[in-house]
Structure formats: C-alpha cells, structure tokens
Amino acid sequence: MIALLFALLALAMVLAWYDHWRWAYALFAVTLLLSIYWLDFHATTPLKIIL
C-alpha cells in the first residue's frame, strides 16, 4: 500500500511538472484520501498476534 501511495504521489508530481495542474491536484487529493483511509484502518484495527 505504501508503494502504491508513493507511486501515486510521484505521478502527481510528474503531472504537475508537465503543467497538468488539474490532474495533479485531483490525483494528490485522491492519494491524500487513500492515505487517510489506510492510516485510520491500521490505527483502529486490533492486532492479532498468534503465538
């Protein structure tokens, strides 16, 4: 998941570099929402430790 978030942020930077600001901002917003969801999921899911 972190690799996907990194790839999406890198793609947003490439889009901004080539002056596609709308797509870059939209992709950045989607990536931000995904990262918030991922953080919330991992922060609230109980750990299952099997010994």
| pLDDT higher than threshold 90 for residue 43 | no
| pLDDT attached to residue 15 | 97
The pTM assigned to this predicted structure is 0.81
Looking at every residue in the chain, the average pLDDT score rounds to 93
Query: Could you read off the pLDDT of 21-30 as tens digits, one per residue?
Result: 999 999 999 9
H, E, C per residue of the chain: CHHHHHHHHHHHHHHHHCCCHHHHHHHHHHHHHHHHHHHHHHHHCCCCCCC
